[in-house]
Structure formats: structure tokens, C-alpha cells
Structure 1
Amino acid sequence: MNLSRLNTRQREAVLHGEGPLLILAGAGSGKTSTMAYRIAHLISVRKFPARAILGLSFTNKAAAELKERVTGLVTQTCGQDALKELTVSTFHSLCVKILRAYGHKLGFQNNFTIMDASDQRDVLKQVFKNVRIDDRKFDLDRILFQIGQAKGRFLGPAHAQDYFLGSGSQLPGDYGIAAATSYEHYQGQLKAQNAMDFDDLLFNAVTLLETFKDVREHYNQRFKYVLVDEYQDTNPAQFKLLRLLTEQQQNLCVVGDDDQSIYAWRGADPTHILEFAHQFKDARTITLDQNYRSTTTILDAANSVISNNKHRHPKKLWSERGEGEPIQEMVLADDREEARYVAEEIFRLAKEQKRRWSDFAVLYRSNTQSRVFEESLRLLRVPYKIVGGYSFLERKEVKNTLAYWRLASNPDDDASLRRVLNWPARGFGKTTLEALGNEAFSSGKSLYETLKRAGEVVPRAAGAAAQFVALVESARLELAALENNGGSGSEALVRWAQQWVEKFSIKKGIEEDCEEPAQVARKWENVEELLHALGQVRAKDVAIEETGAADFGAHLLREFLARMVLDAQDSEDREKDAEAERDQVTLLTLHGAKGLEYPVVFLVGAEDGLLPHQRTLDEKSDLGEERRLCYVGITRARDHLLLTRAKNRIRYGKPVPRYRSRFLAEIPESMILARDESGGVEPIFDKKARDDHEQKVKNYLAEIRARIGSKN
């Protein structure tokens, strides 16, 4: 087999013989190629049968890519037949195969059902009924998530009490008690139905291998070599599975990067990759540190940042691509100016350098940051797509908050009423909603009008219906009473909205939807961002005088809601066109960016409070994972990296000062060309380069303005 395309370290990894091997694969170092060549070498050169090799990954896409590369390498020399019975799959797919074959030893038939999320909720709801827990008081998905986390830690019902009731699960007391009480009964219900949920697949496969020596020996004898991708993302149950599968041969090859371990919140344990040499006797470590993606400047910046993490394998990425362009840091007045700058810079670079829109990515720490960038890109008609999250207006908590505001503006909006009548839960069951809907249809009245006389239709719902109607009517009266006391005109409306976000119990609705407190915080940030957007509406932009001062608040709210609808429609049309072209700017979170790369990357919101996140700072938590997120963001860039931040972020109409991310301070100043919106430099590194850049910007501003003008 020709290994000339590989570098020295990659060849060492491919040619490694017996025993455990850790391949520390830095960002962009060719880890997939190395894994593919190693598997192909085992089959083509060392003549191991394909059925003796097991390749594991975390996603079907990654597994398919690895298998495709192996197929291309092996068929060149040995033909397609040499790949018969090669197993390259996800952890969970492997576990299904094991359980189909031997699950009867645990009391399952081989036709067991794998429950989806809806099935799980139904089972847990029945369990709550059986143990006399009121399911209306709990978010079932939140409890199911923590039961899944317990299984990922290989904690069965008998050993999970401390986890649920302690700080590990981060569940409040009543949720912890409910989870601890229901876990055993939930598992009993699944067993009785010959069913498993997603997390059971791993848990039960490990239990099977651990309990039955004959099964364990069977798989040890079959799989002589086991290879694992993204090892830094394994949880305790996956680690246990690997130990059991390699008990005899110890031919375990794991590939990963501790510097890209960013999923601790999902149960991943980075100590697995950090302590591999201690956990597997005579383990060898090979570091792939040659990067084939980025310029030297970008890599030096990434190395400088990540070197500040204490617990890591030492490695320093390098490249033969050359120094490249300096990293740019742009300091803007506020978040809207930041978004405007990014959109205009993307537009300019696309024209000047003849780049495709798909060459650009905008990376942010939190989904809530995307809205202003979407608006600015839409203004310039730049096609974009949201990856790893929903468009801002498509997020449930945003849609539902808008639905409440629409009801205050127009209570006969049936779609909005259906969306929020039972969010948060108010006891309106499916049967009740169907009865009310049928009556509304037959009487020709709106659902809201029917709700007012719910006692005639569904007597048991009379109390809950009356409370909801009173809530909406109160919101409408207060909205109608708003007056314009000068200023932008939106301050009074924002105050009204803030009060009614609380009175409508929107945060409770979010809590019912979430699996963990961190998710609640992220979704609540989106509601706050929506309030911020409401504060951007100006009385001078709408024809208030046509309705009179008494209707000021309602009119301003209707204007805002109309803009939201139009924005959403524009977004849908834009996405259809862009999808057809398949040439779009990518907007995504740092978590979603892992494994991807782009010629030009904008890492936005480079401020303390965003990166690192405010929760980490407030809780005085270890900054290690936040720093790894920053490292992931930096190493997504091939050619150009642009860092942006705001001096202030407007919240509820008031500027809140922001400060440069401490991670940027870890990058040597000589690598960064820093500027602010006035053209000032912070500090001055290269005046000529800066002046040239500013002149190019001015040259394109006229074209940009003309483009905007053509839209109007």
C-alpha cells in the first residue's frame, strides 16, 4: 500500500502494530485519512479479515465517510470482496446489533422496540400516574434527559439516587425526587413492553457484556482491532463498552483531541483521553500536529490561547502554508454596528476577492446572537443559512412570546391561541381542546370567543378558561392605556412587554420545555433578545397619528409584529433561493462549528460575558471548556480570521458596557491588526495596511448603499 501521501507521524500511526494507541489529532491534521489508511493497511497488507475490525464514530455521517475512504483504498489492491463484514458504525448502531443477537439473556426478545421521544413521554406519564405524581407539575423531557444522563454514567436505578438528589444532575429538589422515584418504574414499564430507549441501547449492551462472559469472549474473539473517532467525546458508558470489547487483545486505537473537548454538558468525560496512557497498559501516543487547513498566523493564535489550559496533552499545531494575513480585530460601538460591519465586510470581500458566499462563516457563542446578523445580511440581500440551530424567529420560545403579544393585539388569532393556551401547562387536555375547536367551528366564532363560554362546552375547563381570558383581557387593557411620553416611543411598550412576559409565565413555559437549567438560560436569552428587538421600533417610523394617542401602544406593537412576519417571509424566500444556489453564508454556534472549516471566519462577540459565557464567569467555573470553544472557533479559519466585538450592547434601550474577551488578550499583539469603527487602531500595528483596507472599504460603501437603495 502506498503511504507516500501521509506525513511521518501519520505513517507511524498507520503502521503501529499491537497494543493500545492514542492518536492525538490536532485540528485539521488529517485524522480521518489516518484512520482510513490504518484500517485499509490492516486489511490489505497485514491480511486481517475485515470482519475482525471495528470502527466506531459518533455520527452516521462520520461513519459513512470513514467507510467510503476505506473502501476506496482497499478495492484498489484487494477488490470489493475484501471488505465483507467490515463494521464501521456509531456506538448505538453497534449496540443494537449486539442486543438483537444476545438481548434474550437480559430478558428482551430480539424484536424489541426502540422508543422515540414521544413514546418515552407517554411511558413516563403513565409511570407518574401509577406512583401518584402530578405530571402537570413537571417537564417530562427534563426528567427523561437526566435519566438518560444517569444511563450515560452507567448508573442504574439502584445507584442513581445520589446523582438525582445531589448536584450532579443540577435538578431542583422536587425534580430530583420525581426522577429518583420514577426511574425504576420507568425501566420496568419499558421491560414489560419489550422496549428500550436510546440510552438503554448503550446501557444494556454494556450490562450484557459485563454480565455474560461468553458474550464478551465472542466479541473479543471477533474484533481483533477496534478504532474509535472523537474519543474526547466519550461518556463513561462508552468507555466501559470499549474496555469490555478489548479485554483480551487490547488493540484499541483511539483518535481525538482533548483541546476540542466541548461537550461536557452532554456527558462527555475528557479524562478518558487525558488519562488514556494510565488506563491502558503499554499505550503508545502519536501526536498529529501538522495542520493542513490554516495559515501559520491563525495556528499561532490558536496555540497561544489553548496553551493557557492547564490539563491537556502538550501539542503545538504548525503548517507549511505560510504566515498568511494578520488576524483582524474590529471594535464596534454596539451589537447592531457589529452586525452591520460583518455584513458589509462579507459583501466587500466577496466582490473584491471574487469569493462565493459559502466561503464565509459567522461563529457565535450563543444562538441569541444570530438575529442582528440575519437582519444585516438580509438588508444587503446576502444569502445565508443557520446551522446547528433555528433561525431566531423559528425558535419555540420566540414564536410563543410573539403569539402572546399577538393575542394582546388581536385575541381572535386562533393560531396564536392554540400555540400558547397550554404553554405553560394550564390543564387543557387534548379532548378539551378538540371540543372547544369543534364548537368554534360549528358556531362560526373564534376560538377565543368560544373560550369565554367554555363552561357551556366543557364544564370542567370553565375555571382554567376564565383565568386565561382574564389574563389576555388585562394585557389588552394595559396595552391600550399606553401613552407616548416622548423619546423613541418604544420605552413604554418594552416596559409593558417585560411585565407581561412575567405575567404570561413565559419562563415557566421554557422550564417545562428544557432538560437542564443551562438550556433554560439559553432560551431565556432569546426572549430577552426579542425584548431588545421590540425596543428598536421607533414611533417616528410608523403612522401613529392615524390612530390617535390613545391607541399608541397597540399600534406600535402591531407595527413590530408586522415587521416580524415580513422578516420571516423574506427569510423563507431568501432561504429557498439560496438553497437552490447552494451558495450561502453560514451562521452557526461554536459548538456547531466543530469539524467544519471555511476560508473566511468571523468570530463575533469576542467579549467577556459572551466568550467566555457569563454563566461560567458568574459561577466562577473552570474556563477550560470556554477556552476550548474559542480554540475551536479560531481553527475553523483557513485563510482569514476576523474577530469582532462591541463596546456596548443595548439592553432594554440602555447601553451596557462590554469588555474585550480575556481570550483575545492571550494572543500576541503582533498577530492582530485591531481597529475601531472610527478608523482608530487599538493598538497600531501596520498603518499602511490599515489605510489601504479603509480605502477599499470606502470604495465599496457606495456600491452597498446603491444595492440597498435598489431594494427600496
Structure 2
Amino acid sequence: MTGPLEDLDERQREAVTALRGPVVVLAGAGAGKTRVITHRIAHGVDTGTYSPGRVMAVTFTTKAAGEMRARLRALGVEGVSARTFHATALAQLNYFWPTLAGDAMPSIVDNKVRLLAHAADGVGLEPDTATLRDVASEIEWRKVTMRSIEEYARDRPQGVGGLDVERIVRLQRAYEDLKDQRRQIDFEDVLLACAGMIEAEPRVAATIHEQYRHFTVDEYQDVSPLQARLLELWLGDRRDLCVVGDASQTIYSFAGADPRFLLDFERRHAGARVIRLERNYRSTPAILDVANALMKDRPGALRLVSAAEESPDAAGEAFVPTVNAYDDERDEARAVAARIRARIAEGADPATIAVLYRAHAQSAELLRALADVGVPTTVLGGRRFFDVPEVRQAVMALRAAAVAPLTGTFVEAVRDVLRSLGLTDDPPPAGGAVRDAWEARAALLRLAEEAPEGTTLREFADELLRRARVHEEPTLRTVTLATLHAAKGLEWDHVHLIGLAEGLLPISYAQTFETIDEERRLTYVGITRAVRTLELSWSRGSRDRRPSRFLQEIGTRTVRAARAGGLGAPARSSGRPRSSSTASTPRR
């Protein structure tokens, strides 16, 4: 087990050893922010500055919180409260509510759209499901930005779907009334109720302030006004707050995220220490040239410097980002599929390749094209791995098999169970549910093959249940298709970023300076997912689209055509991406 100060660069060590007072860590993409957060907490515990039980580490997803806890365990630290904002608030409500109210806490609304539909019936409205989903999003935005219904009507007068603002207000009031009648609260109410409880009950505030003395917040650029307010209440008059974030990765403004809390941290917290992590441990210099050019002069932008060497191809030349143009989306998808197939034929693991895009609808052509060339895929953001019926069936079968004594090795026993459920030595054709089920079972077998020596079948089944609880999913040997939003926080050796055309990226409804800037940040997130190679593309389509303005900003100056049948030879470059005006002429 390594110590918390080992294997850190100068700036990371500075952040890890800054244990007291307000600290803001501006951490660029690939700069090792989770490592810094966990090593900082471990260093605080090792030096006696922190007691683990008095540390609150807050992040935004259950998966990220689980990873934080796992890394802390690896550093020998147990007992730190590493949770999401909602999980922390819910735990506090469950603890204090019975004492304050004399009864159990209200139940949580499990389906906001369904409840909205019932509320709409009660006030004589008949919106379709899509409109109800949009209204649900509006309710969420209203609450996390801490607006009343009246303030919402003033600030969002445009209406939603076929409903004008007056009917939306009526529907929101009916929704709140129905919740009260059913004694329910929704996801956002959890934060509101927790904040209200701390503000209204001095003894609750005193208990929380006594329990937690040191605070860390990950992805601070994504906090909403409501989360920022709750954090202030948790903090009280203490100053031991460390926030970590990157303004260039703010991509959830539509859901209430406000990067101003990160950008204004020094002003809000007198004497705050500012530490910049700009050394990128993920991408090659050429990829970072593209990312830096895109975000040049944007508020809070960091200038990333690569710690990696250029990634050479088989001929010893460095890959450079490329830009390719196509006649339509089908041609674009087929060319991307052909290049992926060729890369896999050269030895790349499909799991190291991703195709990223702005909207879910763009995946359809890609799925067809990749299936046509026999490349297995997984669409990120679909059903969670452990919710797949074949996986649940396999876990139950493994638990049942654990009762009987082993007749062979542990791995053989797992393989026998999975074969009884349909796993074959050779995969079925790519595309469709049969191949998806095969990939899931194969992933379970790989987990068994990677398990520590001496693992029993029962221990393996229990480990699968633990993984399911914390959303720790295995890696499938498939090419990943993902929206830019879903790709945040992940990385792949080889990234294809498609659809870089006006109307798609930036998306057509982004019309203001602020919304265009959000689209730029989304593009930046996509670019910085790439480790070794980055290929950008766009297509004219039936609407005769123009290339994205972002391509002009990153300086697409020279021409490189896509080779439909393979990877072709990389173009020499000073680091600027290369652009093609056609995909029909291969360059050898």
C-alpha cells in the first residue's frame, strides 16, 4: 500500500498537503483530481489533522462516490462519509425526521412523470408524455435554482410543448398539492427539506456541525444554487472546505449547474488557497492542442500540458487529430465503422474505442454500420449492466451453484454455470439482443478469471451483488457509443467524435451566447476523452449543413481524406487537426 504523498507531481502534492482553510483545486481534464481528493483525505487522516468520521466528501453520482470509497480503502482509510448530495441529505432527513415530526419521513416519488399525469387529470389538462417529461425537468430546474412557482413564471415565460406558462403554473401547483395529499416528496425536495430543517432547527444544525468538520466537494462546477446553499449550511462557520472542479467541463447548466460558484470561490471565501492542476496524464500533446485551442480565453479555462509522449503508429509516426467530411450520416457512419474494424484488425481491444455524439438519435446509423462489419457495440446510458435480465439470471444461478461442493476449479464452475445459460466459445454475429447477452455473460466469466486466487463461488456471487449495489460495472469488450453528456468522466484510447456540423454541434436550439458556450464545453469534454487518437467528422446531410464553428476555432487548416477501407497512414502535423472536404479519395 502506497502512502498518500507518493507518486504525486508538484502541484498535486501542493493540493494534497493543503489540509486546512478554504482550498479550491482547479483540476483540468485528466489531471488526476480523484487521486488528489482521496490522497488529500488520507494525508489528513495519517497526520492526525482529520478524524475519518468527521470528514464529509460529496460528489454527484453514486458510482463516483463508490470509487472514492474504494480508493480511500486502498489507502487504508475507513469511515469517511463519501456520498452524493442527495444520499447525504436523505440520510440526515431519515435520522432527524422521526424526532422532529414524531412520525416516519414521507416516501420518495418514484416516477415524477406519472404523478404529473395524475395531477394533470385533476386540473383538466391532457399533455402528452413528452410534454410531461419536459414539465418534470422544469420543476427540477425551478427547485434546484431555488425559485418559487411565481418566480418561475416570471423567469420562464415561454411555455413548454403545447402548454403556455399559465397552464404550466397550474399543473405545477396541482403536482405539489397531490404530493402533499399522498405524503410524498420528490428528489429535489430531499435537498430542500434538509436545508430547511438545518435552518429551522438549531439543535439539528449543532449536531451536524459537531459531526462533520472537514468538507470536500468534487465536480464543484456542477453545483446548483440549492446544493451550494445546503453545503453552506453543512459547513456553518467552519473554513475547512476543499472544492475541486473545472469550469470548462460545466455541461449541466440546463439542470441548474452554475460554474460561478467555482469561479467566484476566492471572492466568497476570504483567504482561499488556489491550486491549478494543468498537467494532463491522459492525452497526447496533439489532442491537447485541439482542446486548448477550443477553450482559449474562455472563463476559467486551464491550459492543459501533456505528461504523455506522442502515440506512434506501426510506422513510428505520431497520430494527429483528423477531421473528415461526408455527404450524409450514413456515409459518415459507414466510414467510421470501417476505420474501427480496421483498428480492431490491427490488434486494438474494442473496449478501448468509443464513438461520441451530441444526441441519442445519432446512434442508429452507427449501430447498423458497426453490426454490418461485425463490430460489437454497447450504447452507454442504456440499462445498467446488473439490471440486464441475463446478468440477473446468471448471478442467481451462481448463488444457487455455490451451495454445492466444487467438482473442479472455481473458474471452471463459473464457466459451467454460464454455459448452461447460453455462453458459447464463439460469439454470435454482432448486433442484436443475442450478441448483447453473450457479451454480458462473457464479461462475468472474465471477472471470475480475474478474481483473486482462492476465491470461492459464494464469495464471487457476493462480490457481484456488491458491484451491483455500487454500480461498479465490468468492462465489456465492445465499442462504446455514447452521448457527450454520458461520456464525461470516462476515457478511451481511440475516440471518434461525429456530427461536428452546425445544427448538431452546436445543436440547433442553442441560440444564445451562453448556450453556445455550453455546446463548446460539451465538445471539449468529448475531445479530452481521447488518450491516443482523435478523429472528428461531420456530414452535410439533406439539409446541406455547414461544418461546426468549433472546427474553425480549433484551426482545421489542411486536408486529409478518410480511407474507407482502413486506417491509412497518419498525416504529419504540428499538432493541428487535419480536415477533409471529401471522403472519396484515399490517401496512402
Band the TM-score falls in, shorter-chain normalisation: 0.7 to 0.9
Query: 1-side partners of 2:103 and 2:172: how far apart?
Result: 22
Query: 2-side partners of 1:317 and 1:108: how far apart?
Result: 54
**1:389/1:265 CA distance change after superposition, 3 Å:** farther
- Which of 378, 382, 389 is the aligned partner of 1:385? 378
- Which of 572, 576, 579 is the aligned partner of 2:437? 576
Larger Rg computed on CA atoms: 1
Superposed CA offset, 1:194-213 (max 9, x none): 43211110110011112222
Per the alignment, residue 524 of structure 2 pairs with 631
SS at match of 1:385: strand
**1:31/1:69 CA distance change after superposition, 3 Å:** same
Query: 2-side partners of 1:58 and 1:128: how far apart?
Result: 31
- Please give the residue correspondences for 1:613-624 in structure 2 after superposition, counting only pairs within 5 Å: 613-617=507-511, 622-624=515-517
Per the alignment, residue 134 of structure 1 pairs with 125
- Which of 260, 278, 284 is the aligned partner of 1:289? 278
Query: 1-side partners of 2:196 and 2:76: how far apart?
Result: 35
Superposed CA offset, 1:4-42 (max 9, x none): 211111111111132111111111111111111111112
- Which of 483, 488, 500 is the aligned partner of 1:606? 500
SS at match of 1:96: helix
Superposed CA offset, 1:108-162 (max 9, x none): 73343122106x734x5555566x433567854443332222221223xxx3213
- Please give the residue correspondences for 1:407-486 in structure 2 after superposition, counting only pairs within 5 Å: none
Superposed CA offset, 1:191-232 (max 9, x none): 454432111101100111122222222212221111111111
Query: 1-side partners of 2:498 and 2:100: how far apart?
Result: 51
Per the alignment, residue 508 of structure 1 pairs with none
**1:602/1:195 CA distance change after superposition, 3 Å:** same
Query: 2-side partners of 1:203 and 1:292: how far apart?
Result: 38
**1:385/1:292 CA distance change after superposition, 3 Å:** same
- Which of 649, 660, 663 is the aligned partner of 2:550? 663
**1:615/1:96 CA distance change after superposition, 3 Å:** same
Please state how far the C-alpha of 1:638 moved relative to its aligned partner.
0.3
Query: 2-side partners of 1:669 and 1:178: how far apart?
Result: 48
Contact 1:164 1:171 in 2 (8 A): no
Please state how far the C-alpha of 1:601 moved relative to its aligned partner.
0.5
Superposed CA offset, 1:147-184 (max 9, x none): 222221223xxx32131354278536845334433545
Superposed CA offset, 1:247-286 (max 9, x none): 2112111111110000111121121111111122222211
Query: 2-side partners of 1:305 and 1:61: how far apart?
Result: 29
**1:678/1:180 CA distance change after superposition, 3 Å:** closer
Please state how far the C-alpha of 1:189 moved relative to its aligned partner.
4.2
The aligned amino acid for 1:248 is D
The aligned amino acid for 1:180 is V
Query: 2-side partners of 1:169 and 1:17: how far apart?
Result: 47
**1:240/1:621 CA distance change after superposition, 3 Å:** closer
Please state how far the C-alpha of 1:342 moved relative to its aligned partner.
0.6
Identity rate, percent = 32
Superposed CA offset, 1:418-460 (max 9, x none): xxxxxxxxxxxxxxxxxxxxxxxxxxxxxxxxxxxxxxxxxxx
Per the alignment, residue 300 of structure 1 pairs with 289
Per the alignment, residue 313 of structure 1 pairs with 300
Superposed CA offset, 1:62-93 (max 9, x none): 10110111111125xxxxxxx24x21111111
Please state how far the C-alpha of 1:336 moved relative to its aligned partner.
1.7
Q: How many residues align?
A: 489
Please provide the CA RMSD for this pair: 3.1
- Which of 306, 310, 335 is the aligned partner of 1:323? 310
Per the alignment, residue 93 of structure 2 pairs with 99
SS at match of 1:330: strand
Query: 2-side partners of 1:371 and 1:8: how far apart?
Result: 46
Superposed CA offset, 1:591-646 (max 9, x none): 111011000001111222211112224x6654211110111111010000011122
Contact 2:376 2:431 in 1 (8 A): no
1:148 aligns with 2:140: yes
1:88 aligns with 2:82: yes
**1:217/1:577 CA distance change after superposition, 3 Å:** same
The aligned amino acid for 1:624 is D
SS at match of 1:623: helix
Superposed CA offset, 1:396-418 (max 9, x none): xxxxxxxxxxxxxxxxxxxxxxx
- Please give the residue correspondences for 1:39-438 in structure 2 after superposition, counting only pairs within 5 Å: 39-74=41-76, 83-84=78-79, 86-104=80-98, 107=101, 109-117=103-111, 121-122=114-115, 124=116, 127-128=119-120, 132-135=123-126, 139-155=131-147, 159-167=148-156, 170-171=159-160, 174-184=163-173, 186-309=175-298, 312-324=299-311, 325-352=319-346, 354-389=347-382
**1:170/1:285 CA distance change after superposition, 3 Å:** farther
The aligned amino acid for 2:371 is R
Contact 1:361 1:601 in 2 (8 A): yes
Query: 1-side partners of 2:367 and 2:564: how far apart?
Result: 24
Of residues 378-387 and 99-108 in structure 1, the stretch that sits farther from structure 2 once superposed is 99-108
Q: So what's the TM-score if we normalise by structure 2?
A: 0.76
Query: 2-side partners of 1:221 and 1:169: how far apart?
Result: 46
Per the alignment, residue 464 of structure 2 pairs with none
SS at match of 1:200: helix
Per the alignment, residue 462 of structure 1 pairs with none
Query: 2-side partners of 1:215 and 1:165: how far apart?
Result: 34
SS at match of 1:644: strand
Per the alignment, residue 7 of structure 1 pairs with 9
**1:150/1:381 CA distance change after superposition, 3 Å:** same
**1:678/1:201 CA distance change after superposition, 3 Å:** closer
Please state how far the C-alpha of 1:241 moved relative to its aligned partner.
0.5
Contact 1:384 1:578 in 2 (8 A): no
Contact 1:14 1:34 in 2 (8 A): yes
Kindly indicate which of the two structures has a greater share of residues assigned to helix. 1
The aligned amino acid for 2:237 is Q
- Please give the residue correspondences for 1:640-659 in structure 2 after superposition, counting only pairs within 5 Å: 640-646=533-539, 648-649=540-541, 655-659=542-546
Contact 1:332 1:676 in 2 (8 A): no
Superposed CA offset, 1:560-601 (max 9, x none): xxxxxxxx9952223233334431111111111101100000
Please state how far the C-alpha of 1:361 moved relative to its aligned partner.
0.5
Please state how far the C-alpha of 1:686 moved relative to its aligned partner.
4.5
SS at match of 2:280: coil
SS at match of 1:641: strand
Contact 1:363 1:633 in 2 (8 A): yes
**1:125/1:302 CA distance change after superposition, 3 Å:** closer
Query: 2-side partners of 1:658 and 1:286: how far apart?
Result: 42
Query: 2-side partners of 1:137 and 1:614: how far apart?
Result: 23
Q: So what's the TM-score if we normalise by structure 1?
A: 0.64
**1:170/1:2 CA distance change after superposition, 3 Å:** same
Superposed CA offset, 1:310-334 (max 9, x none): xx21421111212342112222232
